[in-house]
């Protein structure tokens, strides 16, 4: 039976570590919270917020009597000592504001008791808390990369294309905001529009002519073909 508040250490001072530390402080979570291991001893829970390729070595270097949880979506639950997963499915940037109440947190631990401990911490930040084992979590992580990282990269390519043709990128902001909202409200398949979805070959050809980078041209063809595969002509 625990007596007194938890002592939590957040290891890592990058985007996630910063937001997680600030979020728990702002939520007035009833814990002693420190960065790295600069905490009152002993430490009860360590949340490891470091790059995936550093996670295993960092976890192994931490106190073995504490519950150590990594925050990576693509890494499995470790089997040594007390281990857990505390994965916020979100894209974190220090400079961007964050509403933790909108963020889902995916949990896993070796024991029910430790998972409940992680759940207690997560509920200080958001009500969207789920038990998701690694087999499903890694697939969710792949889906998250598609909807977030891939779309952001397409924004980069669109900005470069606009700049090449001396067009102000601000003109794109309205449609950039509209797309995600509409996809959530209607579903992505129903909200799909554009020349590929309507099989507008002349417009597709003009777009390809205007794109200077052969790799971007190939990507445009690939994505247009994928759109048409998901929207057969006989369904128009």
> Looking at residue 182, which CATH number applies to its domain?
1.10.1040.20
Domain count for the chain: 2
Q: Which residues pair with 34 in a beta bridge?
A: 9
Query: pTM of this prediction?
Result: 0.90
**105-136: per-residue pLDDT in tens?**
999 999 999 999 999 999 999 999 999 999 99
User: For residues 199 and 39, which has the higher predicted lDDT (pLDDT)?
Assistant: 199
Residue 1 in domain:
no
23 and 125 in a common domain: yes
Would residue 2 count as lying in a domain? no
Tell me the pLDDT tens digit for each residue of 192-203. Answer: 999 999 999 999
Residues 80 and 160 in one domain: no
Residue 6's pLDDT band (boundaries 50, 70, 90)? confident
Q: Quick one: DSSP state of residue 102?
A: G
In a domain, residue 193? The reply is yes
**pLDDT recorded at residue 1:** 53
Q: Tell me the three state secondary structure of residue 78.
A: coil
Whether 157 is in a domain gets the answer: yes
Query: Residue 50 and residue 28: Cα distance in Å, rounded?
Result: 24
Q: Which domain holds residue 17?
A: 7-132
Q: Are residues 110 and 26 in the same domain?
A: yes
The pLDDT, as a whole number, for residue 220 is 98
* Higher local confidence (pLDDT), 62 or 152: 152
């Amino acid at each position: 039976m625990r007596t007194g508040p938890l002592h939590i250490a957040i290891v890592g001072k990058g985007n996630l570590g910063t937001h997680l530390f600030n979020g728990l402080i702002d939520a007035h979570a009833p814990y002693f919270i420190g960065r790295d291991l600069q905490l009152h001893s002993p430490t009860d829970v360590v949340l490891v917020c470091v790059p995936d390729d550093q996670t295993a070595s960092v976890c192994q270097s931490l106190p073995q009597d504490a519950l150590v949880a990594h925050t990576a979506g693509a890494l499995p639950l470790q089997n040594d000592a007390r281990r857990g997963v505390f994965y916020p499915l979100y894209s974190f940037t220090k400079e961007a504001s964050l509403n933790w109440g909108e963020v889902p947190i995916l949990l896993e631990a070796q024991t029910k008791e430790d998972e409940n401990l992680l759940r207690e911490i997560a509920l200080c930040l958001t009500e969207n808390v789920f038990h998701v084992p690694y087999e499903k979590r890694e697939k969710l992580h792949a889906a998250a990369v598609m909807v977030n990282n891939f779309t952001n990269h397409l924004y980069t390519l669109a900005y470069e294309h606009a700049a090449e043709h001396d067009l102000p990128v601000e003109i794109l902001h309205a449609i950039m905001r509209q797309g995600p909202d509409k996809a959530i409200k209607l579903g992505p398949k129903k909200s799909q529009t554009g020349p590929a979805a309507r099989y507008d070959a002349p417009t597709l050809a003009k777009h390809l002519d205007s794109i200077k980078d052969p790799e971007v041209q190939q990507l445009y063809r690939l994505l247009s073909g994928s759109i048409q595969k998901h929207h057969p002509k006989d369904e128009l």
